[in-house]
Amino acid sequence: MPHLHTPFDFLDTLVHELVHAVDNCKSGHGEGFKRIALDIGLKGPMRSAGAGEWLKKDLLAIAERLGEFPHGRLSLPVRTGQKAAKRPGAKCTKCGYEVVMLRKHLLLGPPICPKDMEGMEETGGWIGFDC
């Protein structure tokens, strides 16, 4: 869906999408869609069918009655705030040797540093890590 600027654009698009809904998305922009679309006052190439003259008037009247239309661009939900858990890993506090842990090995605990032969420290999200 392109981004919509005015209440009229929004209603215009809404009507188009509602035709798909009424049609149960069965006929794409084919005959079934066209029949309904023309019936309720859409016109133009069906793929981008928008309000014809009288429907436009109606929609503008509705838009006017709705008044100020607070809206933003539609966007996919973006995870904010909480940082996504970093991949679990382990790091040697002595020499800094670092590895990434496989999820299935988390139960065994952090590995031993091959250089210092000491237990390494857990890094990243060991708890609640979810891939």
Report, in Å, the least distance between residue 91 CB and Zn ion.
9
Number of amino acids touching Zn ion (CB under 5 A):
7
Residue 102 makes CB contacts below 8 A (sequence gap 6+) with none
**Measuring CA to CA, which residue among 103, 3, 33 is closest to residue 44?**
33
**113 is a site residue for Zn ion (CB under 5 A):** yes
Structure tokens at 22: 């009424």
* Strand, helix or coil for residue 91: strand
Do the beta carbons of residue 88 and residue 103 sit within 8 Å? yes
Report, in Å, the least distance between residue 64 CB and Zn ion.
25
Report, in Å, the least distance between residue 92 CB and Zn ion.
3
Structure tokens at 131: 């891939």
Binding mask 63-92 for Zn ion (x = CB under 5 A): -----------------------------x
Which of 64, 116 has the CB closer to Zn ion?
116
Interface residues toward Zn ion, by CB under 5 A: 92, 94-95, 97, 113, 115-116
